[in-house]
Amino acid sequence: MNLSTPTIILSIILSLIISTTQPHKNTKNNLLILFLISLIPINPLMNNSELTLTLSPLIITPTENIYISINLDTLSLIFTPIALFITWSILEFSMWYMASDPNNNKFIKFLLMFLITMLMIITANNMYQLFIGWEGVGIMSFLLIGWWHGRQNANTAALQAIIYNRIGDIGLIMTTAWLLSSSSINMQELLIQHETTNIVPLLGLLAAATGKSAQFSLHPWLPSAMEGPTPVSALLHSSTMVVAGVFLLIRLHPVMNNNKNMMTLCLMLGATTTMFAAAAATTNLDIKKIIALSTTSQLGLMMTMVGMNQPSLAFLHMITHSFFKALLFLCSGSFIHNLNGEQDIRMMGGLLKTMPMTSSFLTIASFSLMGVPFLSGFYSKDTIIETLTNSHTNSWAITTTIMATILSACYSMKIMMITMTEHPRFHHNPHKETKTITNPLSRLTLASIMIGTMTKISTLQTTTTTTMPKTIKLMALIATTAGILLSKDLWHTSRLMSPQKPNKQSLFFNQLAFFNIPHREITMKTLKASQQLSTELMDLWTLENWGPKGLSNTITPTIHLTTQQKNMIKNYMTTFTITMTITLLSLTPK
Protein backbone atom coordinates (compact mmCIF):
# COMPACT_ATOMS: atom_id res chain seq x y z
CA MET A 1 0.00 0.00 0.00
CA ASN A 2 1.39 3.41 -0.88
CA LEU A 3 2.47 5.88 1.76
CA SER A 4 -0.25 8.37 0.79
CA THR A 5 -2.83 6.27 2.67
CA PRO A 6 -1.78 7.14 6.25
CA THR A 7 -1.35 10.76 5.19
CA ILE A 8 -4.92 10.75 3.87
CA ILE A 9 -6.36 9.23 7.05
CA LEU A 10 -4.39 11.58 9.31
CA SER A 11 -5.44 14.60 7.22
CA ILE A 12 -9.08 13.46 7.55
CA ILE A 13 -8.88 13.36 11.35
CA LEU A 14 -7.00 16.69 11.51
CA SER A 15 -9.46 18.36 9.11
CA LEU A 16 -12.36 17.18 11.27
CA ILE A 17 -10.73 18.66 14.38
CA ILE A 18 -10.20 21.97 12.52
CA SER A 19 -13.83 21.84 11.25
CA THR A 20 -15.12 21.97 14.83
CA THR A 21 -13.76 25.53 15.16
CA GLN A 22 -15.38 26.80 11.92
CA PRO A 23 -18.93 28.02 11.27
CA HIS A 24 -21.16 25.04 10.53
CA LYS A 25 -22.05 26.22 6.99
CA ASN A 26 -18.63 25.07 5.72
CA THR A 27 -18.68 21.82 7.70
CA LYS A 28 -21.08 20.03 5.36
CA ASN A 29 -18.85 20.70 2.32
CA ASN A 30 -15.73 19.74 4.31
CA LEU A 31 -17.29 16.40 5.18
CA LEU A 32 -18.19 15.78 1.53
CA ILE A 33 -14.57 16.45 0.47
CA LEU A 34 -13.24 14.25 3.30
CA PHE A 35 -15.60 11.45 2.27
CA LEU A 36 -14.33 11.62 -1.32
CA ILE A 37 -10.69 11.66 -0.11
CA SER A 38 -11.32 8.65 2.14
CA LEU A 39 -12.41 6.62 -0.90
CA ILE A 40 -8.89 6.82 -2.39
CA PRO A 41 -7.20 4.23 -0.09
CA ILE A 42 -9.93 1.63 -0.81
CA ASN A 43 -8.41 0.93 -4.24
CA PRO A 44 -5.12 -0.63 -3.04
CA LEU A 45 -7.10 -2.27 -0.23
CA MET A 46 -8.41 -4.89 -2.64
CA ASN A 47 -5.10 -6.76 -2.25
CA ASN A 48 -5.89 -7.31 1.46
CA SER A 49 -2.81 -5.29 2.42
CA GLU A 50 -2.38 -3.66 5.80
CA LEU A 51 -0.41 -0.68 7.01
CA THR A 52 0.54 0.51 10.48
CA LEU A 53 1.66 4.04 11.29
CA THR A 54 3.45 4.43 14.61
CA LEU A 55 4.93 7.50 16.31
CA SER A 56 7.87 7.39 18.71
CA PRO A 57 6.95 6.28 22.28
CA LEU A 58 5.30 8.88 24.50
CA ILE A 59 5.71 6.91 27.75
CA ILE A 60 8.40 4.27 28.21
CA THR A 61 7.85 1.64 30.91
CA PRO A 62 9.85 -1.54 31.69
CA THR A 63 7.14 -3.78 30.19
CA GLU A 64 5.29 -1.66 27.63
CA ASN A 65 5.98 1.40 25.49
CA ILE A 66 2.94 3.63 25.06
CA TYR A 67 2.69 5.41 21.73
CA ILE A 68 0.16 6.66 19.20
CA SER A 69 -0.30 4.04 16.52
CA ILE A 70 -2.80 3.89 13.64
CA ASN A 71 -3.75 0.60 12.04
CA LEU A 72 -5.07 0.80 8.46
CA ASP A 73 -6.50 -2.54 7.46
CA THR A 74 -9.63 -3.74 5.66
CA LEU A 75 -11.91 -2.95 8.62
CA SER A 76 -10.75 0.61 9.27
CA LEU A 77 -10.40 1.66 5.62
CA ILE A 78 -13.87 0.44 4.68
CA PHE A 79 -15.63 1.82 7.75
CA THR A 80 -14.01 5.30 7.64
CA PRO A 81 -15.78 6.46 4.43
CA ILE A 82 -19.06 4.92 5.67
CA ALA A 83 -18.87 6.88 8.94
CA LEU A 84 -17.99 10.07 7.01
CA PHE A 85 -20.79 9.58 4.45
CA ILE A 86 -23.47 8.99 7.09
CA THR A 87 -22.27 11.89 9.28
CA TRP A 88 -22.27 14.16 6.21
CA SER A 89 -25.92 13.26 5.48
CA ILE A 90 -27.00 13.56 9.13
CA LEU A 91 -25.19 16.90 9.49
CA GLU A 92 -27.05 18.36 6.51
CA PHE A 93 -30.35 17.09 7.92
CA SER A 94 -29.49 18.58 11.36
CA MET A 95 -29.18 22.07 9.88
CA TRP A 96 -32.89 21.91 9.06
CA TYR A 97 -34.00 19.86 12.06
CA MET A 98 -32.13 21.95 14.66
CA ALA A 99 -32.55 25.33 12.88
CA SER A 100 -34.62 26.77 15.75
CA ASP A 101 -32.15 25.63 18.42
CA PRO A 102 -30.15 28.56 19.88
CA ASN A 103 -27.01 26.39 20.21
CA ASN A 104 -27.08 24.95 16.70
CA ASN A 105 -23.33 25.53 16.10
CA LYS A 106 -22.43 23.77 19.34
CA PHE A 107 -24.64 20.83 18.34
CA ILE A 108 -22.80 20.45 15.00
CA LYS A 109 -19.44 20.56 16.82
CA PHE A 110 -20.60 17.84 19.21
CA LEU A 111 -21.62 15.64 16.24
CA LEU A 112 -18.16 16.12 14.71
CA MET A 113 -16.48 15.27 18.01
CA PHE A 114 -18.61 12.13 18.09
CA LEU A 115 -17.30 11.21 14.63
CA ILE A 116 -13.66 11.91 15.61
CA THR A 117 -13.88 9.65 18.68
CA MET A 118 -15.44 6.88 16.55
CA LEU A 119 -12.60 7.21 14.00
CA MET A 120 -10.17 6.83 16.91
CA ILE A 121 -11.78 3.48 17.79
CA ILE A 122 -11.73 2.34 14.15
CA THR A 123 -8.06 3.18 13.54
CA ALA A 124 -6.64 2.38 17.03
CA ASN A 125 -3.71 -0.02 17.04
CA ASN A 126 -3.40 -0.44 20.79
CA MET A 127 -5.79 -0.82 23.72
CA TYR A 128 -4.98 2.57 25.25
CA GLN A 129 -5.88 4.45 22.08
CA LEU A 130 -8.99 2.36 21.66
CA PHE A 131 -9.96 3.11 25.25
CA ILE A 132 -9.60 6.88 24.71
CA GLY A 133 -11.93 6.69 21.69
CA TRP A 134 -14.24 4.32 23.60
CA GLU A 135 -14.61 6.77 26.49
CA GLY A 136 -14.87 9.74 24.10
CA VAL A 137 -17.83 8.15 22.33
CA GLY A 138 -19.47 7.56 25.73
CA ILE A 139 -18.97 11.16 26.85
CA MET A 140 -20.28 12.58 23.56
CA SER A 141 -23.34 10.33 23.71
CA PHE A 142 -23.99 11.57 27.27
CA LEU A 143 -23.83 15.21 26.11
CA LEU A 144 -25.94 14.65 23.00
CA ILE A 145 -28.65 12.43 24.54
CA GLY A 146 -29.07 15.05 27.28
CA TRP A 147 -29.03 17.90 24.75
CA TRP A 148 -32.49 19.14 25.81
CA HIS A 149 -31.44 19.10 29.45
CA GLY A 150 -34.47 21.14 30.52
CA ARG A 151 -36.45 17.89 30.28
CA GLN A 152 -36.10 15.50 33.19
CA ASN A 153 -36.44 12.45 30.92
CA ALA A 154 -33.49 13.61 28.77
CA ASN A 155 -31.26 13.96 31.84
CA THR A 156 -32.31 10.55 33.14
CA ALA A 157 -31.69 8.94 29.71
CA ALA A 158 -28.22 10.52 29.44
CA LEU A 159 -27.30 9.29 32.92
CA GLN A 160 -28.69 5.87 32.11
CA ALA A 161 -26.56 5.68 28.95
CA ILE A 162 -23.35 6.63 30.74
CA ILE A 163 -23.95 4.34 33.76
CA TYR A 164 -24.75 1.28 31.62
CA ASN A 165 -21.65 1.99 29.54
CA ARG A 166 -19.51 2.31 32.66
CA ILE A 167 -20.63 -1.19 33.67
CA GLY A 168 -19.35 -2.46 30.31
CA ASP A 169 -16.18 -0.33 30.59
CA ILE A 170 -15.17 -2.25 33.72
CA GLY A 171 -14.70 -5.24 31.40
CA LEU A 172 -12.54 -3.29 28.95
CA ILE A 173 -10.37 -1.85 31.75
CA MET A 174 -9.97 -5.36 33.21
CA THR A 175 -8.96 -6.76 29.80
CA THR A 176 -6.46 -3.92 29.21
CA ALA A 177 -4.93 -4.46 32.67
CA TRP A 178 -4.72 -8.22 32.07
CA LEU A 179 -3.07 -7.80 28.66
CA LEU A 180 -0.68 -5.20 30.07
CA SER A 181 0.55 -7.63 32.71
CA SER A 182 0.51 -10.90 30.76
CA SER A 183 0.54 -10.22 27.01
CA SER A 184 0.67 -6.96 25.05
CA ILE A 185 -1.73 -4.08 24.46
CA ASN A 186 -0.49 -3.68 20.88
CA MET A 187 -3.00 -5.21 18.44
CA GLN A 188 -0.50 -7.02 16.17
CA GLU A 189 1.47 -8.52 19.07
CA LEU A 190 -1.76 -9.49 20.80
CA LEU A 191 -3.17 -11.22 17.72
CA ILE A 192 0.06 -13.22 17.27
CA GLN A 193 -0.12 -14.52 20.88
CA HIS A 194 -3.79 -15.44 20.75
CA GLU A 195 -3.20 -19.16 21.43
CA THR A 196 -2.44 -18.48 25.10
CA THR A 197 -5.28 -16.06 25.88
CA ASN A 198 -7.15 -16.70 29.13
CA ILE A 199 -10.97 -16.65 29.48
CA VAL A 200 -10.85 -13.66 31.92
CA PRO A 201 -9.81 -10.95 29.38
CA LEU A 202 -12.24 -12.49 26.87
CA LEU A 203 -15.12 -12.13 29.33
CA GLY A 204 -14.01 -8.52 29.82
CA LEU A 205 -14.25 -7.94 26.05
CA LEU A 206 -17.70 -9.52 26.00
CA ALA A 207 -18.85 -7.29 28.90
CA ALA A 208 -17.52 -4.20 27.08
CA ALA A 209 -19.36 -5.16 23.89
CA THR A 210 -22.55 -5.97 25.84
CA GLY A 211 -22.55 -2.50 27.44
CA LYS A 212 -21.69 -0.50 24.32
CA SER A 213 -23.76 -2.52 21.84
CA ALA A 214 -26.73 -2.77 24.26
CA GLN A 215 -26.93 -6.57 24.33
CA PHE A 216 -29.45 -8.33 26.56
CA SER A 217 -29.08 -7.43 30.29
CA LEU A 218 -27.47 -4.05 29.52
CA HIS A 219 -30.05 -3.11 26.86
CA PRO A 220 -32.43 -0.58 28.55
CA TRP A 221 -30.27 2.49 27.83
CA LEU A 222 -30.71 2.26 24.05
CA PRO A 223 -34.49 2.90 23.79
CA SER A 224 -34.16 5.54 26.55
CA ALA A 225 -31.52 7.33 24.42
CA MET A 226 -34.41 8.35 22.12
CA GLU A 227 -34.88 11.37 24.40
CA GLY A 228 -32.09 13.08 22.44
CA PRO A 229 -32.69 14.91 19.13
CA THR A 230 -33.37 12.62 16.13
CA PRO A 231 -30.05 13.37 14.31
CA VAL A 232 -28.27 12.14 17.45
CA SER A 233 -30.31 8.93 17.42
CA ALA A 234 -29.49 8.47 13.73
CA LEU A 235 -25.73 8.90 14.25
CA LEU A 236 -25.69 6.94 17.51
CA HIS A 237 -27.47 3.92 16.01
CA SER A 238 -25.94 3.73 12.54
CA SER A 239 -22.20 4.22 12.30
CA THR A 240 -21.00 5.22 15.80
CA MET A 241 -21.35 4.25 19.46
CA VAL A 242 -23.48 1.08 19.37
CA VAL A 243 -21.51 -0.61 16.58
CA ALA A 244 -18.27 0.06 18.51
CA GLY A 245 -18.90 -2.95 20.78
CA VAL A 246 -19.36 -5.40 17.91
CA PHE A 247 -16.47 -3.71 16.04
CA LEU A 248 -14.20 -4.43 19.03
CA LEU A 249 -15.12 -8.13 18.91
CA ILE A 250 -14.60 -8.27 15.13
CA ARG A 251 -11.21 -6.53 15.45
CA LEU A 252 -10.03 -8.90 18.22
CA HIS A 253 -11.78 -11.97 16.83
CA PRO A 254 -8.57 -14.04 16.37
CA VAL A 255 -8.09 -13.78 20.16
CA MET A 256 -11.47 -15.42 20.85
CA ASN A 257 -11.38 -17.74 17.87
CA ASN A 258 -10.05 -20.84 19.64
CA ASN A 259 -12.09 -20.46 22.82
CA LYS A 260 -15.26 -22.50 22.38
CA ASN A 261 -16.82 -21.20 25.63
CA MET A 262 -16.44 -17.61 24.46
CA MET A 263 -17.94 -18.42 21.05
CA THR A 264 -20.92 -20.15 22.69
CA LEU A 265 -21.49 -17.18 25.02
CA CYS A 266 -21.47 -14.76 22.07
CA LEU A 267 -23.89 -16.96 20.14
CA MET A 268 -26.32 -17.30 23.05
CA LEU A 269 -26.16 -13.61 23.94
CA GLY A 270 -26.67 -12.55 20.31
CA ALA A 271 -29.58 -14.94 19.67
CA THR A 272 -31.33 -13.90 22.91
CA THR A 273 -30.89 -10.20 22.15
CA THR A 274 -32.10 -10.39 18.55
CA MET A 275 -35.25 -12.31 19.54
CA PHE A 276 -36.06 -10.30 22.67
CA ALA A 277 -35.53 -6.84 21.10
CA ALA A 278 -37.66 -7.75 18.05
CA ALA A 279 -40.48 -8.90 20.38
CA ALA A 280 -40.17 -5.68 22.43
CA ALA A 281 -40.34 -3.58 19.22
CA THR A 282 -43.69 -5.14 18.26
CA THR A 283 -45.27 -3.99 21.55
CA ASN A 284 -44.07 -0.36 21.32
CA LEU A 285 -45.97 2.57 19.81
CA ASP A 286 -43.26 5.26 19.82
CA ILE A 287 -41.77 5.39 16.29
CA LYS A 288 -38.24 6.16 17.51
CA LYS A 289 -38.31 3.46 20.20
CA ILE A 290 -39.44 0.84 17.67
CA ILE A 291 -36.49 1.74 15.41
CA ALA A 292 -34.13 1.79 18.45
CA LEU A 293 -35.21 -1.70 19.49
CA SER A 294 -34.76 -2.81 15.88
CA THR A 295 -31.12 -1.62 16.18
CA THR A 296 -30.66 -3.79 19.29
CA SER A 297 -32.14 -6.70 17.35
CA GLN A 298 -29.74 -6.21 14.41
CA LEU A 299 -26.77 -5.86 16.79
CA GLY A 300 -27.84 -9.18 18.30
CA LEU A 301 -27.69 -10.65 14.79
CA MET A 302 -24.12 -9.33 14.40
CA MET A 303 -23.19 -10.79 17.80
CA THR A 304 -24.65 -14.16 16.71
CA MET A 305 -22.35 -14.10 13.68
CA VAL A 306 -19.34 -13.31 15.87
CA GLY A 307 -20.32 -16.34 17.98
CA MET A 308 -20.68 -18.39 14.79
CA ASN A 309 -17.04 -17.62 13.95
CA GLN A 310 -18.06 -15.43 11.00
CA PRO A 311 -16.70 -11.93 11.82
CA SER A 312 -16.67 -10.86 8.15
CA LEU A 313 -20.42 -11.51 7.90
CA ALA A 314 -21.02 -9.52 11.08
CA PHE A 315 -18.99 -6.66 9.53
CA LEU A 316 -20.95 -6.89 6.26
CA HIS A 317 -24.23 -6.60 8.17
CA MET A 318 -22.78 -3.68 10.14
CA ILE A 319 -22.03 -1.86 6.87
CA THR A 320 -25.44 -2.44 5.24
CA HIS A 321 -27.29 -1.79 8.52
CA SER A 322 -25.58 1.61 8.95
CA PHE A 323 -27.20 3.08 5.85
CA PHE A 324 -30.79 1.94 6.20
CA LYS A 325 -30.82 2.58 9.97
CA ALA A 326 -29.63 6.19 9.52
CA LEU A 327 -32.30 6.58 6.80
CA LEU A 328 -35.05 5.13 9.04
CA PHE A 329 -34.20 7.57 11.83
CA LEU A 330 -33.99 10.61 9.55
CA CYS A 331 -37.35 9.74 7.95
CA SER A 332 -38.95 9.34 11.37
CA GLY A 333 -37.33 12.68 12.38
CA SER A 334 -38.88 14.33 9.33
CA PHE A 335 -42.30 12.96 10.35
CA ILE A 336 -41.87 14.03 13.99
CA HIS A 337 -40.73 17.55 13.05
CA ASN A 338 -43.62 17.99 10.65
CA LEU A 339 -46.16 16.81 13.21
CA ASN A 340 -44.88 19.24 15.89
CA GLY A 341 -42.98 16.65 17.90
CA GLU A 342 -45.55 13.83 17.79
CA GLN A 343 -43.82 10.43 18.15
CA ASP A 344 -46.79 8.12 18.74
CA ILE A 345 -47.55 6.20 15.52
CA ARG A 346 -51.27 6.08 16.44
CA MET A 347 -51.39 9.87 16.05
CA MET A 348 -49.98 9.75 12.51
CA GLY A 349 -51.61 8.38 9.35
CA GLY A 350 -52.09 9.43 5.73
CA LEU A 351 -48.49 10.71 5.52
CA LEU A 352 -48.06 9.09 2.10
CA LYS A 353 -50.17 11.92 0.64
CA THR A 354 -48.76 14.83 2.65
CA MET A 355 -45.09 13.74 2.68
CA PRO A 356 -44.66 11.46 -0.37
CA MET A 357 -40.83 11.55 -0.64
CA THR A 358 -40.10 10.84 3.04
CA SER A 359 -42.73 8.06 2.97
CA SER A 360 -41.09 6.47 -0.09
CA PHE A 361 -37.65 6.62 1.56
CA LEU A 362 -39.02 5.11 4.78
CA THR A 363 -40.60 2.26 2.78
CA ILE A 364 -37.30 1.47 1.02
CA ALA A 365 -35.39 1.58 4.35
CA SER A 366 -37.97 -0.72 6.00
CA PHE A 367 -37.84 -3.17 3.09
CA SER A 368 -34.05 -3.17 3.33
CA LEU A 369 -34.29 -3.92 7.07
CA MET A 370 -36.71 -6.77 6.38
CA GLY A 371 -34.30 -8.29 3.86
CA VAL A 372 -36.37 -7.85 0.71
CA PRO A 373 -34.34 -9.26 -2.24
CA PHE A 374 -31.79 -7.03 -3.98
CA LEU A 375 -31.87 -4.23 -1.41
CA SER A 376 -28.72 -3.90 0.72
CA GLY A 377 -30.11 -5.59 3.86
CA PHE A 378 -30.91 -8.73 1.84
CA TYR A 379 -27.28 -9.47 1.00
CA SER A 380 -26.19 -9.58 4.63
CA LYS A 381 -29.35 -10.86 6.35
CA ASP A 382 -30.01 -13.65 3.86
CA THR A 383 -26.39 -14.81 4.03
CA ILE A 384 -26.46 -14.78 7.83
CA ILE A 385 -29.57 -16.98 7.99
CA GLU A 386 -28.15 -19.32 5.32
CA THR A 387 -24.91 -19.64 7.28
CA LEU A 388 -26.83 -20.38 10.48
CA THR A 389 -29.02 -23.04 8.91
CA ASN A 390 -26.00 -24.69 7.24
CA SER A 391 -23.91 -24.76 10.42
CA HIS A 392 -23.63 -27.39 13.16
CA THR A 393 -24.88 -25.02 15.84
CA ASN A 394 -27.84 -25.80 18.09
CA SER A 395 -31.33 -25.47 16.60
CA TRP A 396 -32.30 -23.05 19.41
CA ALA A 397 -30.09 -20.28 17.97
CA ILE A 398 -31.49 -20.87 14.46
CA THR A 399 -35.11 -20.88 15.71
CA THR A 400 -34.73 -17.65 17.68
CA THR A 401 -33.05 -15.91 14.73
CA ILE A 402 -35.83 -16.99 12.34
CA MET A 403 -38.46 -15.78 14.85
CA ALA A 404 -36.63 -12.46 15.12
CA THR A 405 -36.69 -12.18 11.29
CA ILE A 406 -40.47 -12.74 11.29
CA LEU A 407 -40.93 -10.14 14.05
CA SER A 408 -38.66 -7.59 12.31
CA ALA A 409 -40.93 -7.82 9.25
CA CYS A 410 -43.91 -7.39 11.62
CA TYR A 411 -42.81 -4.15 13.28
CA SER A 412 -41.48 -2.65 10.02
CA MET A 413 -44.82 -3.32 8.33
CA LYS A 414 -46.65 -1.93 11.37
CA ILE A 415 -44.74 1.39 11.12
CA MET A 416 -45.45 1.68 7.40
CA MET A 417 -49.15 0.86 7.58
CA ILE A 418 -50.02 2.96 10.62
CA THR A 419 -48.05 6.08 9.64
CA MET A 420 -48.66 6.22 5.90
CA THR A 421 -52.02 4.65 5.09
CA GLU A 422 -55.62 5.42 6.14
CA HIS A 423 -56.82 8.92 7.04
CA PRO A 424 -54.67 11.53 8.87
CA ARG A 425 -55.04 11.48 12.65
CA PHE A 426 -53.32 14.82 13.30
CA HIS A 427 -54.33 18.48 13.17
CA HIS A 428 -51.16 20.14 11.91
CA ASN A 429 -50.23 21.65 8.56
CA PRO A 430 -47.19 19.67 7.37
CA HIS A 431 -44.14 21.58 6.08
CA LYS A 432 -42.94 21.30 2.52
CA GLU A 433 -40.25 18.76 1.76
CA THR A 434 -37.39 21.07 0.85
CA LYS A 435 -33.99 20.12 -0.63
CA THR A 436 -32.37 20.33 2.81
CA ILE A 437 -34.54 17.40 3.88
CA THR A 438 -34.67 15.36 0.69
CA ASN A 439 -30.98 15.58 -0.35
CA PRO A 440 -29.51 13.64 2.61
CA LEU A 441 -32.45 11.21 2.53
CA SER A 442 -32.00 10.58 -1.22
CA ARG A 443 -28.28 9.86 -0.73
CA LEU A 444 -28.93 7.38 2.08
CA THR A 445 -31.74 5.74 0.05
CA LEU A 446 -29.41 5.20 -2.91
CA ALA A 447 -26.82 3.72 -0.55
CA SER A 448 -29.48 1.48 1.04
CA ILE A 449 -30.33 0.14 -2.41
CA MET A 450 -26.84 -0.05 -3.95
CA ILE A 451 -24.36 -0.86 -1.18
CA GLY A 452 -25.29 -4.56 -1.04
CA THR A 453 -24.79 -5.01 -4.78
CA MET A 454 -21.53 -3.02 -4.64
CA THR A 455 -20.21 -5.32 -1.92
CA LYS A 456 -21.38 -8.31 -3.93
CA ILE A 457 -19.40 -7.31 -7.02
CA SER A 458 -16.27 -6.25 -5.11
CA THR A 459 -13.24 -8.51 -4.74
CA LEU A 460 -13.44 -8.39 -0.94
CA GLN A 461 -15.49 -11.54 -0.64
CA THR A 462 -14.41 -15.09 -1.38
CA THR A 463 -17.55 -17.19 -1.39
CA THR A 464 -17.72 -20.96 -1.29
CA THR A 465 -20.33 -22.80 -3.32
CA THR A 466 -22.61 -24.66 -0.93
CA THR A 467 -25.49 -26.94 -1.77
CA MET A 468 -28.65 -26.89 0.31
CA PRO A 469 -32.34 -27.77 0.03
CA LYS A 470 -34.53 -25.15 -1.64
CA THR A 471 -36.53 -24.62 1.59
CA ILE A 472 -33.39 -23.67 3.52
CA LYS A 473 -32.26 -21.39 0.70
CA LEU A 474 -35.60 -19.59 0.84
CA MET A 475 -35.82 -19.66 4.67
CA ALA A 476 -35.15 -15.93 5.21
CA LEU A 477 -37.58 -14.93 2.46
CA ILE A 478 -40.31 -17.23 3.82
CA ALA A 479 -39.83 -15.78 7.33
CA THR A 480 -40.02 -12.19 6.02
CA THR A 481 -43.14 -12.92 3.95
CA ALA A 482 -44.78 -14.60 6.96
CA GLY A 483 -44.00 -11.55 9.11
CA ILE A 484 -45.47 -9.14 6.52
CA LEU A 485 -48.68 -11.17 6.15
CA LEU A 486 -49.07 -11.60 9.93
CA SER A 487 -48.60 -7.88 10.54
CA LYS A 488 -51.05 -6.95 7.77
CA ASP A 489 -53.71 -9.35 9.06
CA LEU A 490 -53.23 -8.22 12.66
CA TRP A 491 -53.56 -4.55 11.62
CA HIS A 492 -56.75 -5.13 9.64
CA THR A 493 -58.39 -7.25 12.35
CA SER A 494 -57.41 -5.15 15.38
CA ARG A 495 -57.49 -1.52 14.20
CA LEU A 496 -61.26 -1.10 14.73
CA MET A 497 -61.28 -2.84 18.12
CA SER A 498 -61.50 -0.83 21.34
CA PRO A 499 -58.16 -0.53 23.21
CA GLN A 500 -57.41 -3.62 25.31
CA LYS A 501 -55.63 -3.73 28.64
CA PRO A 502 -52.12 -5.09 27.92
CA ASN A 503 -51.56 -8.67 29.03
CA LYS A 504 -48.56 -9.90 31.04
CA GLN A 505 -46.46 -10.88 28.01
CA SER A 506 -47.06 -7.56 26.28
CA LEU A 507 -46.16 -5.62 29.44
CA PHE A 508 -43.07 -7.80 29.96
CA PHE A 509 -41.70 -6.87 26.53
CA ASN A 510 -43.00 -3.31 26.57
CA GLN A 511 -41.24 -2.62 29.88
CA LEU A 512 -38.05 -4.10 28.36
CA ALA A 513 -38.28 -7.18 30.59
CA PHE A 514 -35.50 -6.55 33.07
CA PHE A 515 -35.81 -2.77 33.01
CA ASN A 516 -37.93 -2.99 36.18
CA ILE A 517 -35.41 -5.09 38.10
CA PRO A 518 -32.48 -2.59 38.17
CA HIS A 519 -34.58 0.55 37.85
CA ARG A 520 -37.57 -0.20 40.07
CA GLU A 521 -37.23 -3.26 42.29
CA ILE A 522 -33.59 -2.88 43.36
CA THR A 523 -34.06 0.81 44.14
CA MET A 524 -37.30 0.19 46.10
CA LYS A 525 -35.80 -2.71 48.05
CA THR A 526 -32.69 -0.65 48.86
CA LEU A 527 -34.90 2.21 50.03
CA LYS A 528 -37.05 -0.08 52.18
CA ALA A 529 -34.03 -1.87 53.64
CA SER A 530 -32.34 1.43 54.53
CA GLN A 531 -35.61 2.69 56.02
CA GLN A 532 -35.94 -0.42 58.19
CA LEU A 533 -32.29 -0.17 59.21
CA SER A 534 -32.58 3.48 60.21
CA THR A 535 -35.93 3.20 62.01
CA GLU A 536 -36.63 -0.32 63.26
CA LEU A 537 -33.11 -1.63 63.76
CA MET A 538 -31.45 1.59 64.93
CA ASP A 539 -34.26 3.27 66.83
CA LEU A 540 -36.29 0.38 68.23
CA TRP A 541 -33.52 -2.07 68.96
CA THR A 542 -30.04 -0.53 69.08
CA LEU A 543 -30.82 2.78 70.80
CA GLU A 544 -33.36 1.18 73.11
CA ASN A 545 -31.04 -1.64 74.18
CA TRP A 546 -27.89 0.45 74.36
CA GLY A 547 -29.64 3.55 75.68
CA PRO A 548 -32.13 3.53 78.59
CA LYS A 549 -32.38 -0.28 78.91
CA GLY A 550 -28.65 -0.76 78.55
CA LEU A 551 -27.97 1.93 81.18
CA SER A 552 -30.49 0.40 83.54
CA ASN A 553 -29.09 -3.12 83.08
CA THR A 554 -25.54 -1.88 83.70
CA ILE A 555 -26.33 0.13 86.85
CA THR A 556 -28.72 -2.31 88.59
CA PRO A 557 -26.09 -4.93 89.63
CA THR A 558 -23.86 -2.13 90.98
CA ILE A 559 -26.74 -0.78 93.10
CA HIS A 560 -27.41 -4.29 94.39
CA LEU A 561 -23.77 -4.65 95.40
CA THR A 562 -23.48 -1.30 97.21
CA THR A 563 -26.73 -1.40 99.22
CA GLN A 564 -29.07 -3.86 100.85
CA GLN A 565 -32.01 -2.20 99.15
CA LYS A 566 -33.31 -4.38 96.39
CA ASN A 567 -35.65 -1.80 94.88
CA MET A 568 -38.69 -3.70 96.14
CA ILE A 569 -40.50 -0.69 97.66
CA LYS A 570 -43.93 -2.31 97.67
CA ASN A 571 -42.66 -5.28 99.66
CA TYR A 572 -40.86 -2.96 102.09
CA MET A 573 -43.96 -0.81 102.59
CA THR A 574 -46.22 -3.85 103.01
CA THR A 575 -43.85 -5.45 105.54
CA PHE A 576 -43.51 -2.10 107.37
CA THR A 577 -47.29 -1.60 107.48
CA ILE A 578 -48.02 -5.13 108.66
CA THR A 579 -45.30 -4.91 111.33
CA MET A 580 -46.57 -1.53 112.52
CA THR A 581 -50.16 -2.82 112.66
CA ILE A 582 -49.17 -5.90 114.68
CA THR A 583 -47.06 -3.79 117.06
CA LEU A 584 -49.86 -1.29 117.58
CA LEU A 585 -52.39 -4.07 118.15
CA SER A 586 -50.11 -5.79 120.63
CA LEU A 587 -49.35 -2.58 122.58
CA THR A 588 -52.91 -1.34 122.88
CA PRO A 589 -54.38 -1.99 126.38
CA LYS A 590 -56.99 -4.71 126.54
Q: Where are the domains of the chain?
A: 3-497, 521-587
pLDDT of residue 239: 86
At residue 215, the pLDDT reads 93
What's the pLDDT at 410? 95
Sign of the CA dihedral with 40 first, then 44, 50, and 54 last: negative
Cα dihedral 396, 400, 403, 409 sign: negative
Query: What pLDDT was estimated at residue 18?
Result: 72
- Residue 110 and residue 128: Cα distance in Å, rounded? 23
Q: Indicate the residue type of 506.
A: S
pLDDT value at residue 564: 66
Residue 274 half-sphere exposure toward CB, CA atoms < 13 A:
29
Say what the pLDDT of residue 456 is: 76
∠27-31-33 over CA atoms, to 5°?
115
Q: What is the pLDDT of residue 196?
A: 59
Q: Is 0.85 topped by the overall pTM?
A: yes
Q: Which of 280, 166, 163, 148 is nearest to 223 (CA)?
A: 280
Residue 431: predicted pLDDT? 76
Encoded amino acid at 343, one letter: Q
Q: Which amino acid is at 107?
A: F
Task: Give the pLDDT confidence score for residue 257 in this predicted structure.
Answer: 86
Predicted pLDDT at 46 = 58
Contact 210, 168 (CB under 8 A): yes
**What region, left, alpha or beta, does residue 53 occupy, with left being phi > 0 and alpha being psi -120 to 50 degrees?**
beta
DSSP 184: -
Three-state secondary structure call for residue 163: helix
Write down the pLDDT at residue 463: 60
Distance (Å, rounded) from C-alpha 412 to C-alpha 484?
Answer: 8
- Residue spans of alpha helices (H) in 311-355: 311-338, 351-354
Along the chain (590 residues), what's the average pLDDT of each consecutive run of 10 residues? 62 72 74 88 70 85 84 89 94 91 90 92 93 94 95 93 94 92 86 76 95 91 92 92 95 90 94 94 92 95 94 93 96 92 89 92 96 92 90 89 96 94 80 86 95 76 73 91 94 83 78 70 89 78 77 80 72 88 85
Instruction: Give the separation between CA 84 and CA 73, rounded to whole angstroms.
Output: 17
Question: Which residue, 129, 331, 351, is CA-closest to 238?
Answer: 331
Give, as one character, the DSSP assignment of residue 59.
Answer: E
Nearest one of 382, 583, 339 to 476, comparing CA atoms? 382
For the chain, state the CA radius of gyration: 32
Exposure class string for 311-346: b at 16+ Cβ within 10 A, else e: bebbbbbbbbbbbbbbbbbbbbbbbbbbbeebbebe
